[in-house]
Amino acid sequence: MIRLTRYVLLALLLLIAVVATQAQDDIELPQEVTLNEVTLRLPEDWGALLDPNGMTLAADFDIAALAEEENPTIPEDPVVMRFILAGVPYGTDPQPAVEQLQTLLGVAEDGPEIVEAEFAGVTVAQLSITEEDATAYAFGRYVMDDLYLVGTVVGPTERLDESLETVQAIFANVEASLTPLFDEELLERAEVYSTLEQRETEEGFPVIGNPDTDAKVQEIGSFACPACRVFHEEVYGGLFERIVAGEVEFTYVPIASTGNVPNGVYAAQVALCAGEQGQFWPYYDALYKVQERGGTAFIPSRIDASLSQLDLDEEAFYACMEAGETAEIVNVAEAYAREVPGYTGTPALSVNGELLEGFAPIILNATIDEALGIAPAEDAATEDTVEEAPADDTSDDSADDASSDSSDDSSDDTTEESSGS
């Protein structure tokens, strides 16, 4: 009798699971929306948008249209979902889905139970917490081998119970849509890089530009360092023009001990291995640009998809990554940086061996001009005025005005302290 009861109970549980899966499969999700590399499939009356923090939200009303209203009225008891992508650190084995969700949510061992469930034929990790009349759900699953999706929803218990199958179906159908590492602008700049002289230092640090110039600029940087990205976005464009013009030779010293973006060493290895095929500098640009993606910026899935964009020999690239020699270059760079007098963090810019205080464009360009023997703008203005009207008292004023105009161009900069120094 006991055995029969167990069989009946098991059969009922299986029947419930099949019916639930069929119900989720029957839910129509005609809308397709891609936001922040997350592709959602939603019911007709749902909407989605990015919140001010860049999080992907979906709701059972037209949340995007509502956000455009001057005085929006949020529907009563709405169902709102939030989606976050998390990258798996390079070189680590992915945890089982349940354990990964526990880690990402910071759930203690004696905390709420996370179970394995199946939605619309997809296996996920699920956590639920109910307090009084409110319930919260969290779901997790791998959308790629190195990319984990977390979805959360909170609301009145009765309302969520009514919407749960729809919420589960939405989560089960989410896909990752990684942005290509190289956009058209970066691909065009890659063509320019291919026309410039490139080499490596004895340590293996990449160098680009005219070797005969009197202005040798060096950056100690880390792809994991947000301040380095600021330098790249706000200053490097002007420096690049001077490299192309033959005025500057530029060296990049790739460290990884500064910054907080995961997989910094891996990113440096990627650029250096691309460098073995003459493509370091396009990756230098692209890796800093994609850094804004945070924890998913430097994941192998994104890098793998980029190789064909520059026609890299994939077998040679992966062999280089496997060999680990580029990781040693990063170690050498760390030791090199610690020996630079005055070095405290990244980005650290120097011209002809002299470390600059910060990386404001006006300071960098003035130092380059000095190395090239180009007179400062205010000095040139003063000399021209004196030659044209030696007795004109306004010559001092024009020099002061030029100096004042130049100071307005300066910008604030910050560096990130090196944990290795």
Q: How far apart are CA 269 and CA 254, in angstroms?
A: 9
Q: Is it the case that residue 9 has pLDDT exceeding 70?
A: no
Q: Where are the domains of the chain?
A: 2-176, 184-417
Q: Is it the case that residue 11 has pLDDT exceeding 60?
A: no
State both tokens at 372.
Answer: 């090239």
Beta strands in 36-163 (DSSP E): 38-42, 47-50, 56-59, 80-87, 114-119, 122-131, 134-144, 147-156
Q: What is the pLDDT of residues 100-154, one digit of tens each?
A: 999 999 999 999 999 999 988 999 999 999 998 899 999 999 999 999 999 999 9
HSE-up of residue 87 (Cα within 13 Å, Cβ side): 21
Q: Is it the case that residue 199 has pLDDT exceeding 60?
A: yes
Average pLDDT, stretch 71-77? 87
State phi, psi for 126 to the nearest 5 degrees: -140, 140
Q: Which stretch of 39-48, 67-76, 153-162 has the lowest confidence by average pLDDT?
A: 67-76
Topology of domain 184-417, per CATH? Glutaredoxin (3.40.30)
Residues 6+ apart with CB under 8 A from 140: 97, 98, 100, 101, 104, 124, 125, 126, 148, 149, 150, 151
Q: Is it the case that residue 380 has pLDDT exceeding 50?
A: no
Q: Is it the case that residue 334 has pLDDT exceeding 70?
A: yes
Task: Provide the 8-state DSSP code for 391.
Answer: T
> Average model confidence (pLDDT) for the chain?
87
CATH number of 2-176: 2.60.120.1690
Q: Which stretch of 2-16, 204-218, 230-244 has the lowest confidence by average pLDDT?
A: 2-16
Task: Provide the 8-state DSSP code for 261.
Answer: -
Task: Between 52 and 309, name the one with better pLDDT.
Answer: 309
Model confidence at 184, pLDDT cuts 50, 70, 90, reads: very high
Q: How far apart are CA 16 and CA 213, in angstroms?
A: 76
| Spatial contact of 153 and 137, defined as CB atoms under 8 Å apart | yes
Neighbouring C-beta atoms of residue 226, cutoff 10 Å: 18
State phi, psi for 386 to the nearest 5 degrees: -65, -40
CA distances from 329 to 93, 117, 208, 286 (A): 25, 45, 17, 20
